[in-house]
Each structure stands twice: as C-alpha cells, then as structure tokens.
C-alpha cells in the first residue's frame, strides 16, 4: 500500500479557556488514502469539527494544536508548516465545505467573485479568467444560468444553491482533499440528497478524497467507504462502512445506530443514548463513555481502554474486546441526573 494522502497521528487540539483546558481533540489518529471517502461520525461536541479545522490549521486562539501532534499531508507536516505554506494548501490542496451555507458566504460580495477569489489567490489568474473559471465551476455544480447567478449576492440564492456555490468554491482548484463538515444538515431533506449525489459525482470526476463529517449515519452509509466514530475527543471505533453497520462493536456506535430513524419502521420515538457527553475540561478517568454505557464494569473505571483490534481493519476502544461475554448482561446506565452532583 502506498503512503496515505493524509495521515494524522496523536492529534491533540486543546482550548485554554477561563474554565480550564478543554481537550476537544485528545489523541486522534487516522489515515485517508487518495481518492478515498472517509466519514467521521459522532455527537456534537465530540471533536470531529475541531479535527477537521486542525487539518487546515484553522484553530483560533485560545485553541492550540499541542506539540507532538502530527498531520502529514502529501508528505508535508502541516502542524509545523509556515504561514505562507499552509495558506498555499488551503483552498488549493485541501478545501472545506461548511454546514451553514448562508453564513459561510460573505454577504457583501457577489458569489461569482467569492468563487473566483480562490483561483485568483492560488492560480494567479486575472480577474476575467478567474471569473470565467468560477462560472464554469458553478455550472458544473449544477447551478442553472450560472452566469447570472454568479452576479448575485448570497441573500438572493436559496440554501441549496448556496451550498453548491460553496462546493464550487471548494473544488475550484481540484484539491486532493475536501473536508465536508455537515454539508447537508442545514438543508431540506430533498436538497440534502441532491447535494450528496453532487459531491459523490464530482468526486468521481475530479478524483479527490473526501472527509465527510456528520452526525448522521445515513449520510455515512450513502457516501463513505470507511467510518471513524468519535466520542469525547477520541476515536472510539473505526471500520469499513459495511463492517461497521453489520457488526458495530463499541457500545457508543451501537447507541448511535439505535438512535437512527429506520425508514419503514413505525417508531414513535428515537432511541436516544441516555445522558450527556462529559465536559471536555474534565474528561473522566478510564472509559469516557462509562457513565452512559449499559455494559460498563469496574475495569472501565480503572483503565482507559486502548484501541483494540476486533477484526481486520476494524478497531474499537472498548474493553468488551477482551471480555465479550459481558455484552449479554446489560444493566441500566449509571447516568447521573443533572443537578444532583451540585446539591
């Protein structure tokens, strides 16, 4: 196997806030191969977006990528890269699509100019060339009458249209990697599917890798080949998409799957994982999922689980890997009610 396109090793991105050090990403490692589509899934606050921003070094103070973290991309070490070099990568070799297409576009510029700006920065194109390129790209993302649309301002476009603009912007330089951070969450269900199809389609045409960040396992199932599950700043499970859906190992992944709405099933309520994610300033000792886990036992409290190999490329950060029989004896989770601790 050739060297992966992106290789993250022991990434730790911490935020130094008034309330203490928030270890939002706390030792994450994974690879993405060229042309591959990898998904990161997890609840909000699990560190998946911070991981994405870390890859582009877009962490703003008081956040900081801790020394010892490594992000290797196309053979270069991003963490220690100079400002100018990292800027050369942004939007050019790695680009990103955000969740909120409205706020991600500058309200006071025409969308065409905003798309064209990428080419002007990175390819040194003239205004005219860049504009033409932008219109071309907008057309490619399926915007009808792209020439006219390009002259409009963000507020004049629909949500789906704006997301297409962002996609056009992201793909302008045919980057090696596109990070899509919840690209469909803010959109209507019908538009969601269109946008996902578009992404997959464009990936095939351009051949980029995609890192798909979402809380929605449906999106994962539809677009990715490999899945990384994150919880409390850590990778808790990683597997090929089919393997994961067939044989989820980590109780958290299990919980996520149960909370997925199953089409056709007449369910009144989603199964929600009880409890809340602990505070990033104060990760619990041992297993971070312990309090919400129906299988946890004293080992989970005592020892922080490593990533166990549970079959092929499938890894899981759960002690069940060494005592699988405990899966047969679930107990009610040790959820602590809010406020009780303060009393």
Partner 1 sequence: MLRYLGGRLVQAVVIVAIVATITFALIHLAPGDPFSAVMDNPNVNERVRATLRAQYGLDRPLPEQFVRYVGQLARGELGWSFSHDRPVREVLASALPNTLLLMAIALAGSFALGILIALVQVARRGSATDHALSAISLFFFSMPDFWLAILSLLAFTYWLPLFPVGGAVDPVMHDYMGFGARIADRLRHLLLPALTLTVLAAPGVARYQRAALLDVLPADYIRTARLKGLTEREILRRHALRNALLPIISLLGLSFPALLTGAFFIEKIFAWPGMGLAVVNAIGTRDYPLVVGGVILGSIMVTVGSLLADLLYAWADPRLRAR
Under the binding rule (CB under 8 A), the answer on residue 92 touching partner 1 is yes
Shortest Å, Cβ 35 to partner 1: 22
Tokens of residue 25, six digits: 């990403």
Piece of the chain touching partner 1 by CB under 8 A; list 42-50, 83-91, 124-132, 240-248: 83-91
Under the binding rule (CB under 8 A), the answer on residue 155 touching partner 1 is yes
Residue 196 CA to residue 187 CA, distance in Å, equals: 11
End-to-end Cα separation, the chain, in angstroms: 56
For residue 309, report the phi and psi dihedrals to the nearest 5 degrees.
-80, 125
Shortest Å, Cβ 246 to partner 1: 36
Residue 267, exposed/middle/buried by CB under 10 A (0-12, 13-18, 19+)? Answer: exposed
Which CB sits closer to partner 1, 82 or 312? Answer: 82
Per-residue contact string for residues 108-147; x = within reach of partner 1 by CB under 8 A: xx----x--xx--xx-------------------------
**142 to each of 17, 39, 241, how far by Cα in Å?**
43, 24, 28
Under the binding rule (CB under 8 A), the answer on residue 149 touching partner 1 is no
Which CB sits closer to partner 1, 108 or 341? Answer: 108
Which of 17, 126, 148, 156 contacts partner 1 by CB under 8 A?
A: 156
Residue 116 CA to residue 200 CA, distance in Å, equals: 23
Shortest Å, Cβ 92 to partner 1: 6
Greatest pairwise CA separation for the chain in angstroms: 67
> What region, left, alpha or beta, does residue 132 occupy, with left being phi > 0 and alpha being psi -120 to 50 degrees?
alpha
Residue 196 CA to residue 230 CA, distance in Å, equals: 22
Shortest Å, Cβ 87 to partner 1: 4
Number of residues engaging partner 1 in binding (CB under 8 A): 32
Interface with partner 1 by CB under 8 A: which residues?
A: 56, 58, 60-61, 83, 87-92, 95-96, 98, 100, 103-109, 114, 117-118, 121-122, 153, 155-156, 166, 169
């Amino acid at each position: 196997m050739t060297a992966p396109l992106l290789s993250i090793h022991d990434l730790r991105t911490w935020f130094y806030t008034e309330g203490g050090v928030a270890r939002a990403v706390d030792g994450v490692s994974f690879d993405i191969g060229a042309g591959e589509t990898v998904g990161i899934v997890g609840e909000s606050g699990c560190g998946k977006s911070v991981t994405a921003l870390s890859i582009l070094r877009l962490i703003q103070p008081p956040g900081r990528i801790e020394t010892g973290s490594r992000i290797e991309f196309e053979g270069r070490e991003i963490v220690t890269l100079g400002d100018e070099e990292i800027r050369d990568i942004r939007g050019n070799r790695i680009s990103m699509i955000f969740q909120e297409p409205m706020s991600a576009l500058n309200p006071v510029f025409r969308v065409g100019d905003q798309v064209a700006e990428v080419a002007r920065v990175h390819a040194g194109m003239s205004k005219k060339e860049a504009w033409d390129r932008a219109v071309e790209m907008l057309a490619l993302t399926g915007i009808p009458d792209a020439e006219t649309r390009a002259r409009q301002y963000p507020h004049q476009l629909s949500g789906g249209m704006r997301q297409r603009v962002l996609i056009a912007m992201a793909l302008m330089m045919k980057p090696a990697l596109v990070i899509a951070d919840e690209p469909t969450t803010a959109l209507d269900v019908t538009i969601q599917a269109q946008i996902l199809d578009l992404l997959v389609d464009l990936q095939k045409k351009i051949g980029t890798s995609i890192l798909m960040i979402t809380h929605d396992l449906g999106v994962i199932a539809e677009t990715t080949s490999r899945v990384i599950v994150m919880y409390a700043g850590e990778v808790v499970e990683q597997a090929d998409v089919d393997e994961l859906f067939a044989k989820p190992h980590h109780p958290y992944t299990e919980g996520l799957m149960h909370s997925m709405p199953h089409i056709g099933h007449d369910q009144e309520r989603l199964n929600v994982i009880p409890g809340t994610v602990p505070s990033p300033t104060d990760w619990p000792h041992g297993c971070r999922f312990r309090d919400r886990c129906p299988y946890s036992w004293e080992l989970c409290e005592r020892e922080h689980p490593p990533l166990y190999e549970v079959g092929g490329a499938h890894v899981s950060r759960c002690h069940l890997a060494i005592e699988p029989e405990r899966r047969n004896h679930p107990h009610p989770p040790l959820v602590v009610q809010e406020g009780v601790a303060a009393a």
